[in-house]
């Protein structure tokens, strides 16, 4: 990826109606800031492409992709609030979440929370695939979590503009993309692969890596958390051969909904065993204390 100068914006600097508060991240295409909308009185996330990349071609691509994104209106997809040229910069405004899934994965996540996030992400991607829209860069950094417990997938459309703009940047993010996508042939199956990798990490606690040969890292933990039917579902999602994968997130979601009740029963059974073991240990310790007291 070519080296691109950072967008030089200072904390507390005004950019149109926005006041920059802090930098949230930076990549080869853009920098992301937390800012205050001084007119609406709300905080937003600003994605600002690096100035050397902004030309008529980029703006034309951005307009096309933004209009396409507007047709994919779903609670699980992060929509653009506003896009403007301010002081020669393209400034794209989004709702500001609490953190990304990448941040959240640094802390323990319960099974219930994991399943809730999987539900939301699959529904969002399935909705897009039904409308023939693919993401091409599904990764934890592009999943934004909000205080109400909702998750929204960011960068629909913008990921495509970035690919077209930065020569040699590939077709996604290395470590998250399907083999055919790395060769420049992304499809709905590629999004399925990326979703499978993210879900495996959420459930197993480790990232599977190339060549994705089973058993994958974290497999022993995975076996204690979900039934074999769900492991088979994950395995099909991240098949190297795209023809053996789910063809899109719609089919992936439908298969998940069939095995979800079994996964819930499996976890409830595991929890019941742990409770029984704790009660047994407590009773045993109580008997020991009683004998000692006598």
Domain boundaries, the chain: 14-95, 99-268
Q: What is the pLDDT of residues 104-144, one digit of tens each?
A: 999 999 999 999 999 999 999 999 999 988 898 899 999 99
- 233 vs 51 pLDDT, higher one: 233
What's residue 155's pLDDT?
Answer: 84
CATH assignment of 99-268, among 1.10.510.10, 1.20.1740.10, 3.40.50.170, 1.10.10.10: 1.10.510.10
Taking alpha carbons only, the member of 47, 41, 123, 126 closest to residue 82 is 47
| 10-14, 30-34, 59-63, 211-215: least confidently modelled range | 59-63
Is 137 noted as a catalytic residue in this protein?
yes
Per-residue pLDDT, 163: 55
Mean pLDDT, the chain, integer: 87
pLDDT in tens, 171-230: 567 788 899 988 888 899 999 999 999 999 999 999 988 888 899 999 999 999 999 999
In Å, how far from its chain's centre is CA 250?
Answer: 17
The dihedral region occupied by 45, where left means phi > 0, alpha psi between -120 and 50, and beta the remainder, is beta
Known binding-site residues for ATP equal 47
How many CB atoms sit inside 10 A of residue 201's CB?
Answer: 19
Per-residue model confidence (pLDDT) at position 279: 76
Find the mean pLDDT for residues 155-164.
Answer: 64
Beta-carbon contacts of 195 under 8 Å, excluding residues fewer than 6 positions away, are 121, 122, 125, 138, 237, 249, 252
286 pLDDT higher than 80? no
Q: Which residue has the higher pLDDT, 97 or 269?
A: 97
- Burial status of residue 132 (CB atoms within 10 A of its CB: 0-12, 13-18, 19 or more): exposed
Helix (H, G, I), strand (E, B) or coil at 279: helix
Looking at 37, 73, 103, 137, which residue is catalytic?
137
Helix axes 249-293, 228-237, angle to 10 degrees: 140
Q: Minimal CA–CA distance to 87: which of 164, 3, 166, 18?
A: 18
Homologous superfamily (CATH) for 14-95: Phosphorylase Kinase; domain 1 (3.30.200.20)
How, if at all, do strands 82-86 and 42-49 pair?
unpaired
pLDDT (tens digit, 9 = 90+) per residue, 238-285?
Answer: 999 999 999 999 999 999 999 999 999 998 988 888 877 777 767 677
């Amino acid at each position: 990826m070519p080296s691109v100068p950072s967008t030089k914006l200072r904390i507390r600097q005004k950019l149109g109606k926005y006041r920059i508060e802090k930098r949230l991240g930076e990549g080869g295409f853009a920098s992301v800031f937390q800012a205050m909308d001084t007119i609406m009185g709300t905080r937003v996330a600003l994605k600002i492409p690096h100035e050397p990349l902004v030309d008529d071609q980029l703006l034309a691509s951005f307009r096309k992709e933004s209009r396409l994104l507007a047709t994919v209106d779903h609670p699980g997809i992060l929509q653009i609030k506003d896009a403007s040229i301010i002081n020669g910069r393209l400034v794209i405004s989004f709702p500001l979440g609490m953190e990304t899934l990448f941040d959240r994965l640094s802390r323990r996540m319960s099974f219930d929370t994991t399943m809730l996030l999987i539900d939301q992400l699959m529904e969002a991607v399935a909705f897009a695939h039904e409308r023939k829209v693919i993401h091409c860069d599904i990764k934890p950094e592009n999943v934004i979590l909000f205080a109400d417990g909702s998750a929204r997938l960011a960068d629909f459309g913008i990921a495509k503009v970035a690919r077209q703009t930065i020569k040699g940047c590939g077709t996604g993010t290395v470590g998250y993309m399907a083999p055919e996508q790395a060769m420049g042939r992304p499809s709905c199956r590629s999004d399925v692969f990326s979703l499978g990798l993210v879900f495996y990490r959420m459930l197993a606690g480790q990232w599977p890596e190339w060549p994705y040969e089973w058993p994958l890292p974290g497999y022993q933990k995975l076996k204690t958390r979900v039934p074999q039917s769900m492991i088979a579902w994950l395995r099909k999602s991240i098949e190297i051969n795209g023809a053996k994968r789910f063809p899109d997130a719609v089919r992936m979601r439908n298969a998940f909904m069939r095995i979800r009740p079994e996964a819930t029963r499996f976890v409830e059974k595991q929890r019941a065993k742990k409770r029984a073991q704790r009660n047994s240990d407590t009773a045993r310790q109580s008997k020991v204390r009683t004998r000692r007291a006598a």
